[in-house]
Amino acid sequence: MMRRRIGACVLAGLLAGLAPVAGAPGAASISVDDLKTWLTYIASDELQGRDTYSAGLGLAAGYIQEHLRRFGAEPDGDPGQYLQAVRVLGVKATSRSSVTVKVGTETRTFKDGEGVTFPRNAGATRTFTVDRVEFAGYGLDVPAANHMDYRGKDVTDAVVIFLGASGPRGVERSTYGRVFAGRNRYATDQKRAAASIGPEGSVAGRGRGAGADRGPGRGRGASTPDFTTAQRLDRQAAPSLTASDAFFTFLFSRSNAKYEDLTRMAKARGALPSFRLDGVSITFDIDVSYEVVRTQLTHNVVAVIEGGDPRLKHTYVAFGAHYDHVGYSDGQPGGRPPGRVASDASADRIWNGADDDGSGTVALMALAKAFAEGPRPKRSLLFVWHAGEERGLLGSRYFADYPTVPMENIVAQLNVDMIGRNRDDKPEESNTVYLVGSDRISSELHEINREANRALVSPLTLDYEMNDPADLEQLYYRSDHDSYAATGIPVIFFTSGLHADYHANTDEVSKIEFEKLASITRLVYETGWRVANLDHAPARDNKGPRAGRETR
C-alpha cells in the first residue's frame, strides 16, 4: 500500500515536470514553480520590506492566510483565526535586587547598581541560594583556537564566574566577538549553570526577548522603556550579572588565587586557572517592579494540519520561519537606513529580504501544501510564521510563552531561515545545507534527519560547522528555533548560510537558487514526516553539540 502511494507520487511529480523524490509521500509536490511564484510576491517592492509593524507585513500575512485556506490547513492563531496577536511591551523597571556573598563566616550584600548590575529584564521575583561557585577562567570554549575553559568541568546548577575582557592570547575579540558577548548565555544555556557573573561590560546588551538593556537608573525619561520584550514578565530567568572589582575582591578573598593576581594574568592574556571557590555561597534576591509604558502589536500566522492517529494527533511536529524583514528607507537627509546599502544599489530604498527570510516563508507554505494535500502522518503538524525575528525573535518568544497548542505536546521544531542561496555565493556550496542544533537536545532527532537525507533521490551535503558552540556568527541563538530550544524542545535549524546581501538592499528574488530552495524544503518535509510517524517522541538526551564536524 505504501509503496504504491510513493510510486504514485513520484509518477505524478514526473508528469508535472518535478524532480522525483524517494521516501515520504507528498514531497514531490514541492515545486520550484510554486516557490518562485510565492517568493516573487513576498519579496516584492509592494510589501515594502515587511518590517515588523508595517502594512507590508500585514499584506504578507494576508497572502499566507489566503493560501492556507486553499490548502485546507486549519487556523490555529487567536480563536478561529490564522493570526495570533503578538503584544510587544515597552517596560520600565525599578530594581531592588541584590546579591549576598558568603565567604567562610563573612557575608557582604551588593545591591543592583552598587557593586553588581542585573539585566533590566531580570524576570520573576524570587530568592535562591547556590552553594557551589565555579571559576571558569575566561568563560570561553573555542575549539577552533584550541582554548577550552570548560574542558572536563561540570558546572550544572553552579554559579559560574569568569574574567578577562580581552580573552586569552590566540582568541581575538575581533574574530570571536559574538562568542565573547555570549559568555553568560553559554554558561547558563549550554553548560546549565544556575547563574553567571562576569566583569563589567562583559554581558551582551540583549537578553532573551529584550530589545534594550541598561543598568538601574539609566532610563531617558519616565515614559522611555528600559527594555522591550514579547515575553512574560513573571518568567524565571537565570541571573546573568556583571560585577565590580569590590565584588570580585571579596569573592576571592579566601581563595589561594587572589583577584589581583587573576586580573593581572587576564590583562596579560595569559592562561587562567579553573577551580571551585570552596566555602563560598551566593544568594540572589531578585526583586523588580515592572511598568508597561508602551504596547505594540504585530502578528504570527499559525495553522495546523491534524494527524491521522487518534492517540498521537494531540502531539505536534512544529515547522517555523520568520516572515518579517527590516523594511525600507524613507530617503530623508540624515535618515538611517534599516540595513546595509550596497554600493551598486544606492538608489534602492527597499530591503526585500528574498532570502532572509522570504525563502523560509515560502518553504513553509510549500510544506503546508504538501502535508495538507498528501497523506496525513500520525502526529499533527503545526506551522508558525513568526513576526519580529529581526527585532529580537519577538514572535517566537511570544509563542513560546503564549502557545496556541501545549508546548509540552510539541515533540520537535524544524526552523528554516535563509535557505535560498549559497554561502558567500560559492558555486561549490550548491548542494550544501547547514544544520544547527540537530543533536544538542536530541541525538535521535539528529539521526532521523540524516536518515531522511539519505532517503532523497539527490541527498544534500549536511554540514555541522555552524553547530559549533564557537561558531563565529552564533547562529544557534539568532533565529526562532532558539525560543523553542529554550523550553527543552528538540530543534533543527536549516540554513544555507550568510552571503554578501545579508541585510542589504540587494537581497533580491533574482539571486535565489530555486532548485536548492526546493531541495532543502524536501529534506525538511522528509524529516518532519519521519518524526510525525514515530511511535514515541525523539529522546531528549542532551548529548550535543556536533562541534565542527561535517558529513560529506
Give the CATH class of 97-286: alpha beta
Helix or strand run (H / E) with residue 434 = strand 432-436
CA–chain centroid gap for 462, Å, is 20
The answer to whether 512 and 355 have CB atoms below 8 angstroms apart is yes
pLDDT in tens, 112-165: 999 999 999 999 999 999 999 999 999 999 988 889 999 999 999 999 999 999
The DSSP code for 536 is S
The answer to whether 405 and 339 have CB atoms below 8 angstroms apart is no
How many other CB atoms are found less than 10 A from the CB of residue 126? 13
Segment 440-466 mean pLDDT: 95
d(CA 464, CA 494) in angstroms, rounded, equals 10
pLDDT in tens, 162-202: 999 999 999 999 999 999 999 999 999 889 999 999 999 77
How far, in Å, are 146, 451, 506, 552 from residue 379 at the CA level? Answer: 43, 19, 40, 32
pLDDT in tens, 495-530: 999 999 999 999 999 999 999 999 999 999 999 999
User: What pLDDT does residue 162 have?
Assistant: 98
For residue 196, report the phi and psi dihedrals to the nearest 5 degrees. Answer: -140, 145
pLDDT of residue 6 exceeding 60? no
- Predicted model pTM: 0.90
The answer to whether 154 and 190 have CB atoms below 8 angstroms apart is no
User: What pLDDT does residue 205 have?
Assistant: 45
pLDDT of residue 56 exceeding 60? yes
Strands (E), 212-353: 227-229, 240-243, 275-276, 280-286, 288-305, 316-322, 327-328, 350-351
User: What pLDDT does residue 306 have?
Assistant: 98
For residue 466, report the phi and psi dihedrals to the nearest 5 degrees. Answer: -80, 0
Residues of the chain with CATH 3.40.630.10: 2-89+294-330+339-538
Superfamily for 2-89+294-330+339-538? Zn peptidases (3.40.630.10)
Q: What percent of the chain has pLDDT over 90?
A: 84
How far, in Å, are 3, 146, 188, 468 from residue 167 at the CA level? Answer: 58, 13, 19, 19
How far, in Å, are 3, 18, 233, 370, 493 from residue 29 at the CA level? Answer: 17, 8, 43, 6, 23
The answer to whether 198 and 162 have CB atoms below 8 angstroms apart is yes
d(CA 409, CA 315) in angstroms, rounded, equals 5
Q: Which residues pair with 133 in a beta bridge?
A: 159
Residues of the chain with CATH 3.50.30.30: 97-286
